[in-house]
Amino acid sequence: MFISPYPVKPVFISQYPMKIMFISLYLVRPLFISTYPVKPVFISPYPVKPVFISPNTGKLVFKSLYPKKPVFISISSEAYVYLYIHEAYVYISTTREAYVYFFTPSEAYVYISTPSEAYVYISTPSEAYVYLFTPSEAYVYISTPSEAYIYLFTPSEAYVYISSHPVKPIFISSHPASEFAQDRRNESVMAFQNALLLVGRPITNPDYKTWESRVRELLYRPPINLEKNDLDDILGIKVNIPLFAAYLYDSVLLYARALHEALLTGGTPDDGALVFDKIKDRTFLSVQGHEVYIDHNGDAEANFTVLALRPAQNQFGRGLLPVGRFARNPLNRQDVTYVADVDIYGANVPLDEPECGYSGELCLGEASILVYAVGGFLGGVGLVLIIVLGVLYRNWRYEQELASLIWKIDTREIHLQPDAAISALSMISNNGVSV
């Protein structure tokens, strides 16, 4: 059990398919219960040095109540390993950091303290817990092969109990269930009341642990040839097999089956189209324990579980529990299994798409209609004004052109008379002008 004096929030998302976040309501202390023995953790917000290594002699200055035997000492890296009858401790001290490792055949604890933060890592054969504490923050991450939960803790948090069943985080409070209705108005919880979480299904294969052991054995054989640490054997530490190994195993097995069927029909290994034809539109049993369907494009459709905030399997608590599952039936059709009803508080059943669309484009309110009407009217008036002004301008230009042509005489309107020239000369002669 560890009780944090600091407000807490999640910092890390697991690589496993389960991703669950829950904000609790009640003013109670956080309590973590593990199926494995977990010893109290000491966390200091200040730099701690459980080990002091003298830079001059390199000697360890540390006294323990238990007999100890050093098995590894490195002055350069300042690392010490001490074995007990059933336990092993590793102390690493540097100028700014102090590390403490505690190992048993089934557990491993790592304590790291710096001036501003402290880390605690707890590892078991099937679980891994990471705690990160700073003066203002604290993080909790829980990961197992079939579970991965993230819990958000604030000063008003509840007891946390991890159920032995996968995908069932239970939240227990000392408050009666009736007070939950009163606290529903809490802004933090309101966000989760109508929330549905779509997560991948957990591992259901009962022989998955055996498969992990076989994969772990192959790691030490060619071509990988992973080096074996004697200390790991003594402490019972095993190599972690990530979930990606299961994906790789399924891929290789699926390809091998398709290639085998292609060869039986007379195909060749380099006939990719034929091999792909044996893969698509088919269902295969994953090593994780559930059916996986490959569509006509070659994409795997995973099975999903829907989680919702529901009363837990106790009198006082609530948690994110399964309310439905999506899986393929024997006819390769999407099948929905309803586990429980979903409680909707103060709202209707969520729609696939908002009534007004995601951007409000499907709804035209009174204000929108008025805007469109005014805009259309002004646009029409503007168009009429443009046409009228265009006609007036054209007439004005035409009149200006006519006014500029008044002083001109068309040559076709000028007529010359033969006698007019003689009369003009006679008039000049009579006036005494000689030519």
In tens, the pLDDT along 213-237 reads 999 999 889 988 888 776 666 656 7
Query: What pLDDT was estimated at residue 293?
Result: 85
User: CA 133 to CA 337: how far, in whole Å?
Assistant: 41
Q: Total domain count for the chain?
A: 3
Indicate whether 417 belongs to any domain: no
Average pLDDT of 388-396?
Answer: 92
- Give SS3 for 70: strand
Together in a domain, 133 and 244 = no
| CA dihedral of residues 30, 45, 235, 163 (deg, nearest 10) | 10
Tokens of 147: 């579970």
Together in a domain, 171 and 277 = no
Indicate whether 253 belongs to any domain: yes
Edge to edge, what strands does the sheet with 300-301 contain? 282-285, 291-294, 300-301
Indicate whether 324 belongs to any domain: yes
pLDDT above 50 (res 70): no
Indicate whether 79 belongs to any domain: yes
| H or E element, residue 250 | helix 243-264
Cα–Cα distances in angstroms (integers) from residue 29 to residues 1, 152, 159, 233, in the given order: 11, 13, 6, 38
Type of residue at 228: K
Together in a domain, 59 and 175 = yes
Which of 126-130, 190-194, 315-319, 361-365 is least confident?
126-130
Together in a domain, 121 and 164 = yes
Question: For residue 24, which of 208, 170, 201, 158 has the smallest C-alpha distance?
Answer: 158
Together in a domain, 367 and 320 = no
Together in a domain, 364 and 304 = no
CB–CB of 30/41 below 8 Å? no
Together in a domain, 254 and 187 = no
Indicate whether 43 belongs to any domain: yes
Indicate whether 124 belongs to any domain: yes
User: CA 176 to CA 183: how far, in whole Å?
Assistant: 11
Q: pLDDT grade, residue 343 (50/70/90)?
A: low
Question: For residue 27, which of 151, 175, 176 has the smallest C-alpha distance?
Answer: 175
User: CA 268 to CA 376: how far, in whole Å?
Assistant: 69
User: CA 85 to CA 77: how far, in whole Å?
Assistant: 26
Type of residue at 57: T
Which of 2-16, 187-201, 251-265, 282-296 is least confident?
2-16
- Number of helical H runs and strand E runs in the chain: 8, 21
Together in a domain, 259 and 324 = yes
Question: Who wins on pLDDT, 71 or 244?
Answer: 244
Determine the structural domain holding residue 146 and report its residue range. Answer: 32-193
Between the two ends of the chain, the Cα-to-Cα distance in Å is 142
Together in a domain, 279 and 359 = no
Together in a domain, 75 and 150 = yes
pTM of the model: 0.39
User: CA 219 to CA 229: how far, in whole Å?
Assistant: 13
Indicate whether 388 belongs to any domain: no
Query: What pLDDT was estimated at residue 330?
Result: 54
Indicate whether 24 belongs to any domain: no
Together in a domain, 138 and 247 = no
Angle, to 10 degrees, between the axis of helix 243-264 and the axis of helix 208-218?
90
Together in a domain, 268 and 176 = no
Average pLDDT of 159-167?
Answer: 33
Give the domain-ending residue among 306, 338, 370: 338
For residue 157, list its beta bridge partners: 28
pLDDT above 80 (res 376): yes
Q: Which residues of 309-333 are buried (b: 16+ CB within 10 A; e: fewer)?
A: bbebeeebbbbbbbbbbbbbeeeee
- Give SS3 for 162: strand
Peptide bond preceding 145: is omega within 30 degrees of 0, i.e. cis? no
Average pLDDT of 327-342?
Answer: 63
Question: Who wins on pLDDT, 335 or 184?
Answer: 335
Average pLDDT value for the chain: 61
Peptide bond preceding 135: is omega within 30 degrees of 0, i.e. cis? no
Question: Who wins on pLDDT, 434 or 43?
Answer: 434
Question: For residue 284, which of 243, 255, 264, 245 has the smallest C-alpha distance?
Answer: 255
